[in-house]
Chain A
């Protein structure tokens, strides 16, 4: 059995744990077509998978990985024909990646995970922190009648940086020592796709429109040996409820669906499916 490691990158709240929960349900329930199948139930961190999937099934928000701790989930996946993989997926808190940007450091365990040749970069499509312009800020303050104090100084903090700046730096780090491993495949996962699909822009186009710096870096800044594919992924289908909150109409709509796997939507190029294994299949596919 081949061993394949995938590292999932993403800033806090970018949808990595939700992806994992939905994936586990999809491959165990087998209710919709998937390119990768679960070969055996035996999995690393199986109790954790069961726990996050139970929350996903009930359309409840996931607990932040920052609080529950980093874990490496391992799954035995196969293509249904002859290829089988031991698939390792570290579920690392987004804070660890934010710390790489802010403090320029990371733990040894995370550095080891970052050596994987297959990379998934999660970006919450509806929570992109866009660059702020002083002129826009002033105009907005005037519109809503907030008085501005001239001359008041605010010290810049790294966490103020726009999403795309932080992500470009993350990708740049992967191409420099000690994290540079040469050729890689990069699957960009625009999560919460259901929240932005009304824009009717395909994932590639969405990236270009909303994250132009990142798009430009991917086009011209990455080594030629890297392969890139952009996916729009809705692993939930809608906004879920907090664990103790009253049920919302959106979450209730998801619970009412008889086949939970149909909450999932994956858009790549011009095709749409419920197959959440698409990005993994692309990453594991031999060139």
Chain B
């Protein structure tokens, strides 16, 4: 798959339907180069230019399964996830009604490595726990997912785990919704208090 170029993001609009939900959902997906998000680690103010961050109902962060198999690189994955989230938080682009999904990608590669795959999966869970420890106050909920979007090994079905992730994206948002507030008029106890000014032309 071709790498996403740095620079402006591309937005994709999807209308999603699911048998378990009454309403369809419109999803707006932002495709921006990972490097652009990573740059916020060294300059958190850059996150202010990424409109999708404060507009989204669900922030989704991917942890590369291949890197988690590497004993050295796995620590970098944890740092990248936690420091990027901290940069978003410090830039003030996260919202307390947002959900956060941490997604283990390339599940097929994890399963294909019998020796180290189990350890990588455990390490991913420890990353999720770290994110919960540090950011549970900043999001309504934090969930983890495991996906094989485009497997290269026969150890996972193409698109495995994506249904659960889509369902999460489609689930009820935590966003505050406007509602009608009935107007109530308090009636004064004394008759004098119930008098209203008379509107009309002035005699003056």
Contact = CB atoms under 8 A, between A and B. Distances in A.
Interface of A: 25, 28-31, 40-43, 46-47, 49-50, 53-54, 57-60, 252, 255-256, 258, 260
B162 interface: no
B121 interface: no
A260 B41 CA distance: 19
Contacts of B8: none
Nearest to A241: B72
18 contacts: A28-B83, A28-B86, A29-B79, A31-B130, A40-B44, A41-B44, A41-B86, A42-B44, A42-B90, A47-B42, A49-B42, A57-B72, A57-B75, A57-B76, A58-B75, A252-B71, A255-B71, A258-B126
B123 interface: yes
B42 A260 contact: no
A128 B72 CA distance: 30
Interface size class of B (residues with CB under 8 A): 20 to 34
B103 interface: no
B134 A30 contact: yes
A47 B38 CA distance: 11
Given A29-B82, A258-B126, A46 B43 contact: yes
Contacts of A40: 44, 90
Given A28-B79, A30-B134, A59 B42 contact: no
B73 interface: yes
B87 interface: yes
4 nearest A-B pairs in the assembled complex, by CB-CB distance: A58-B72, A46-B42, A255-B71, A57-B75
Contact of A54 (B43, B71, B76, B87): B76
Interface in B34-54: 41-44
A49 B79 CA distance: 13
